[in-house]
Structure 1
Amino acid sequence: MKIPHSISFAFSLSLVLLVTACGGADEKKANKQPNIVFIMSDDHAYQAISAYSDKLIETPNIDRIAEGGMKFTNASVTNSICAPSRAVILTGKHSHLNGKIDNNFPFDTTQMTFPQLLQQAGYQTAMFGKLHFGNNPKGFDEFKILPGQGSYYNPDFITKKEGKITLTGYVTDLITDMTLNWLKTEREPEKPFFLMYLHKAPHREWLPALRHLPEYTKRTFPEPETLYDDYEGRGTAAKTAEMNILKHMFWAGDSKLYPALVEKLNLEKGRNTIKGFEREVGRLNPEQRAEWDKYYQPISDDFEEKYKKGMDDRALMAWRYQRYMQDYLGCIAAVDEGVGEVLDYLKENGLDENTIVMYTSDQGFYLGEHGWFDKRFVYEESFRTPLLVRWPGVIKPGAVNTQMVQNLDFAPTLLTAAGVKVPDDMQGESLVPLFEGKTENFRKAAYYHYYEYPGVHMAKRHYAIVTEDYKLIHFYYDVDEWELYDRKKDPNEMKNVYDDPAYADIRAKLHKDLDALRVKYKDSKELDQTYIEKSGKPEDRKQ
C-alpha cells in the first residue's frame, strides 16, 4: 500500500527529530563528567582476587569490575608500604618528592592532592575508611576515617562533622554502610561525585567478620611452591628480612593462640608480643567475644595437643601458614560482599553507566611466597598490585592490559577522565589512552624506591627498574648489592642472574635505563643520603 505523501513527510520529520534528540542526548551524556568510585583495600594481594587466580578464594563481586572493564596484570607501586603508597596516590608524585618516604615521616600537607582539584572543579567529594595518615584530609566535603591503622571490631572513627565516634560492628561492614548511606542521603544528583571507599582489611592482624569464622577457620588452602624457601641464589636482603611466617609472626596477635597458652608453651621465647591480641580481641563486647571464642578456643586447644606430641619446623610452618590464610582470606570475604553492595546500588539507581569504578590495593602482599608475610620489597608479590577499572562506554568489557602502570598514575588518570588539568609537577601518566586501547608511547619501565630501614621487618633500602621482562635492583645503605631477575623465565625470582655472562648486555642496558629513570623522576644519591640523615640514628629506627 502506498503511504500518502503527507503522512510519509510527517513520519520522516518525526524520525529526524527523534534521531536528533537521541544524538543530542548521547552527546550530552558523552560530555558529562563521570562519577568516580575509588575502592582500595589495605594489603590485598592480587593472588587473593579470583580475577587473577582462583587458587585461594573466589571474589565474585570484585571480579565484576574486571568482567565489565579492564584488568591490569603488571600494575605496581612505587614504594610498597602503606602510608607512602597512599601519599603517592593522592599527589601523583614519587615518595622522594612528596616527602612521605616511610610510615614515620610526616606527610607534607602543603602538597596539592587530586581530590582537592576535583573538588575545585565542581565534584562532590567523600572519603570513608582508612586513610592511615592525617586526621583532616583535604579536598573532601565529607569524611569518616579510621585513626591510624584502625580496629576490626567496634572501631573508632574520626569524622568531619561529629568528631570522634565509636561504632558497634565489623569495620568492613561499617565502612560499606557509611559509603552507601552517603550515596543514598548526601549525594547531590546535579553534581558529579568522587567517592573514596577505603578498607582496613585485610591488614594485619587479620580478624574476619564473625559470620565468616564458621567457614574460614575450617578451610585448608594450597601452599605456595616457595613456602619453604631457603633463599639460596639471592643476596643479603632476602636472607636477613624479618617477615618469615614461622620465625617472625606473633603467636597470639597473628596466629590467634590465646595469650595464656603462648606463655605456657613459651612460644615467643622472651618476646612480649601478645599486645596485638589484647588490643584487637579486647574490643569485642561479651556477646561478640562468646561467638569468637567458639571458633578460636578449639584452635588453641588443638594446637596445644599437637605441639605437646611434637612438631618440627616444617610442621609448624605448615600450621602457621594455614592459620594465616584462614584469617587473611576470611577478611577478604567481607570486602567482596561490601563491593558487591556498592556495585548493586550503582546499577539499581542508574549510576553505573556514567561511573568509573577502580579497585586496587595500597600494595601487594606475600601470602607465604618465599615463606613470607608483609610487603616492602620490589620482589613480585609486594611490588605488583591488583588494578581493575570499569568505565562503560570507554573500556571494553573483559579487556586485559600488561603494561607497566603504577599507582603514580591514578591521580593524572582520574583528573584527565574528569576533564581537569593535570598539574605539571605530577609524575604519573594518564591511563585513559590505555582504557581506550591506545597502548603505544606508554612507559616501558617502572621505577621503585623503598626507604624504611632499619625498621619493622628489616627489609633493606633499595631502588629498582622493572620492565615486563626484567628487574634490576640495587640494595644500599649498609650493603652495596645488585640483583637481576628474568621475570619471564624465573617468575618466582629464585635466581639472581646479575653475574651471569648470558645477561651481560641486558644488565648494561638496564643500568643505563635505571640511571635515566633516576634523572627523569628527580631522584639521586644526594637525596638518598639526605633521607638517610633525616631518618635519625639506626638504633632509633628499628621498631
Structure 2
Amino acid sequence: MIRSILVLSSLLCCLTLTAQQNKKAPNILIIFSDDHAYQAISAYGSKLMQTPNIDRIAREGAIFQNACVTNSLCAPSRATLLTGKYSHINGLKVNNISNPFDIRQEVFSRLLKQKNYQTSWIGKWHLQTLPGDAFDYWQVPPDQGQYYNPDFIGPKNDTVRLKGYITDVITQLSFDWLDHRDTSKPFCMVIGEKATHRSWLPDIQDLGAFDDKQFPLPANFYDDYKGRLAAKNQDMTVDKTMLLDYDLKVHANYSERGMYGRMTPEQRNAFKAYYDKVSKDFDERQYKGKALVEWKYQHYMRDYLSTARSLDRNIGKILDYLDKNGLTQNTVVIYASDQGFYLGEHGWFDKRFMYEESMKTPLVMRYPGVIKPGTSVNDMIVNIDFAPTILNIAGVTAPASIQGNSFLPLLQTGNSKDWRKAAYYHYYEYPEPHRVSPHFGIRTLQYKLIRFYGPADAWELYDLKKDPAEMKNLYTEKKNSRLVASLKQQLKDLINQYHDDEAMKIFEQEVKD
C-alpha cells in the first residue's frame, strides 16, 4: 500500500514537473543568413544541391512559400528584422558606411529583455554600429566580416581574431554562449551567418564539392530585357560584372592583405592548390563569347553552392546541439535569409530588384507542439512581420509603432481570412554598386506592379501565374487598364498605410502630369 502511494506520488510529481516545463516561455533561435537563394534549398524544390538540415526544419515545422522582403539589401533587411519597420521609418535605406543604423531606437530584443529573456546576437551584424545594450551579449565581425580567420568585436569593444572558417567560428561562439547562459531564463539568440555573401569563399573541406556537376543555364540566362528599361541598364551580370580574379579566383593575388592575407599558410596552400587548377583550365581553353560567360556561370555556381554547403552543415550542428541538450521541444527555430539572390536568372547575380528571385526569401520555422510538421504556408509574409512574431511567441505585445503583424496565428489556426493580400516594396540604392534604378511596388499572389523612378522612369506589370520568370511587361497593353487601375489604388493604399511620403510624392506627381 505504502509502495503504491509512493509510486503514485512520484508519478504526480513527474506530471506536475512536465506541466511546469510546458508552461515555460519558449526559447527563440533565429538563424539569419546572407544572400541565400531559395533556389538553392532542396526544401523549395531545388535540384542544384541538397540542404538536409534546412529541410529538417521545414519537415518538422513549416515552410513559407511567399516570404518577401521590403528592400532587398543586406543592412536594410537586418534593420527591418530588428524593428519590424520599413526602411524609411527605421532610417536605414541603403548599405552605406556613412549611414549607420540608429541602435537607440526600439528593437525587439530590448522588449524581450523586459520580459526576462536573455538575449544575444552572434555573427554577422553589418549595421555600421554596434549592438550596445540592445542585446545582453554579442560577438560580431566588423562590417561584412571575413570568411577565414575572422575578426570579432565583443561587448567590451575588444577586437580579436579567431582562427578558422567563419561559419564554423560563429557556430562555436553560439555554443559557448549557450553553454554559459543563465538557464533560469528563456533565451533569444540571433545567429548571423556571413554565408553566402560575395565573394563566395568555400571552406577548405568543400572545395570542389560540385566539380562533377554541370548546372543547366536558367531559361532566361540570355535575357534581352525587352520592355524593361531598368533591367537592361543594370550592372550585375555574370557576363560583364562578375570578376574573374575577385569572384572566381582566377589568378587571384594570394599575397594581398585582404581575404587571402589573413589565411594561415596551410589554408592558403590548400586554397591556392584548388584555384590554380581552375586558373589552368581557364588558360588552356581560352574561352570567349558565350563559352566564356557560361564557364563563369558554372564556376560561380560551384563556389556559391560550396559556400552554402558549410552553412547547411552548421545548421545541422546547431539542431544537434539542441537535441543533445534537451532544448529541442521548448525552442522555436527560425531560418531565413536577409533576402533572395540571383543564381543566373536574367543573367544576373546579386539582388536589389523587386523581381521574384530577389524579393522572395527562404523562411522555415519549427515550433514543437504549435506548428504541425510538414506545414506549407502560401500566404504572403513580409520581413516586417519577423519582429512582431518573435514578440508574440514570447508573450510580448508588439508596440503600435511596429508596421508588421505576427504570423503566429496563421500557424496556430490556419485561418488567413484577415491576412494581407498584398506586399509593399521600396528599393533606394543608386547608382553604386550595381546601377539598379530605385523603385517601389506591390506584389499580390498573382500580380506585381512596379514603379521605377530616377534613371529608369517606367511602370512594369507581371502576371506571376502565367509568367513566373517576369519576362513580359504587360503594363502598356490596353486590355490590362482596369487591372492596372486596381493595382495602383492598392499600391496607393499601402503607401499611405506605411507612411512612405517619398513614394507618395512620386506617385502623385504622375497624376498631376
Q: TM-score, normalised by structure 2?
A: 0.93
Structure 2 counterpart of 1:338, from 314, 320, 330: 314
Unmatched segments (≥5 aa) in structure 1: 1-6, 261-273, 530-543
The answer to whether the 8 A contact 1:135-1:147 is kept is: no
Where do residues 238-317 of structure 1 align in structure 2 (5 Å cutoff)?
238-259=231-252, 279-307=258-286, 311-317=287-293
The answer to whether the 8 A contact 1:404-1:444 is kept is: yes
Partner of 2:449: 472
Paired with 1:371 and 1:282, the residues of 2 have a C-alpha distance of: 32
Paired with 1:395 and 1:526, the residues of 2 have a C-alpha distance of: 37
Partner of 1:41: 33
Structure 2 counterpart of 1:328, from 298, 304, 307: 304
Partner of 1:518: 495
Where do residues 214-253 of structure 1 align in structure 2 (5 Å cutoff)?
214-232=208-226, 234-253=227-246
Q: What is the number of equivalent residue pairs in this alignment?
A: 502
Question: 1:501 offset after TM fit, Å?
Answer: 2.8
Question: 1:335 offset after TM fit, Å?
Answer: 0.7
The answer to whether the 8 A contact 1:55-1:222 is kept is: no
Where do residues 205-220 of structure 1 align in structure 2 (5 Å cutoff)?
205-220=199-214
The answer to whether the 8 A contact 1:472-1:482 is kept is: yes
Paired with 2:193 and 2:61, the residues of 1 have a C-alpha distance of: 21
Paired with 1:249 and 1:527, the residues of 2 have a C-alpha distance of: 36
Partner of 1:490: 467
Partner of 1:136: 130
Q: Secondary structure at the match of 2:456?
A: coil
The residue type paired with residue 423 of structure 2 is A
1:388 aligns with 2:380: no
Structure 2 counterpart of 1:146, from 141, 146, 150: 141
Question: 1:71 offset after TM fit, Å?
Answer: 0.1
Paired with 1:68 and 1:526, the residues of 2 have a C-alpha distance of: 41
Partner of 2:349: 373
Where do residues 13-32 of structure 1 align in structure 2 (5 Å cutoff)?
24-25=16-17, 27-32=19-24
The answer to whether the 8 A contact 1:415-1:421 is kept is: yes
Paired with 1:64 and 1:384, the residues of 2 have a C-alpha distance of: 20
Question: 1:280 offset after TM fit, Å?
Answer: 1.5
The answer to whether the 8 A contact 2:35-2:340 is kept is: yes
Aligned-residue CA RMSD (Å): 2.2
Partner of 1:164: 159
Radius of gyration: which is bigger? 1
Q: Secondary structure at the match of 1:208?
A: coil
**CA, structure 1 residues 444+21, in 2 after alignment: closer, same or farther (shift >3 Å)?**
farther
Structure 1 counterpart of 2:439, from 450, 462, 467: 462
Paired with 1:220 and 1:283, the residues of 2 have a C-alpha distance of: 32
Unmatched segments (≥5 aa) in structure 2: 507-513
Percent identical among aligned pairs is: 49
Paired with 1:168 and 1:11, the residues of 2 have a C-alpha distance of: 58
The answer to whether the 8 A contact 1:135-1:158 is kept is: no
The answer to whether the 8 A contact 2:72-2:358 is kept is: yes
**CA, structure 1 residues 422+305, in 2 after alignment: closer, same or farther (shift >3 Å)?**
same
Question: 1:528 offset after TM fit, Å?
Answer: 6.6
Deviations 1:383-437 (A, max 9, x none): 0000000000000001000111011100000001100121110000101111212
Paired with 2:246 and 2:402, the residues of 1 have a C-alpha distance of: 40
Question: 1:107 offset after TM fit, Å?
Answer: 1.4
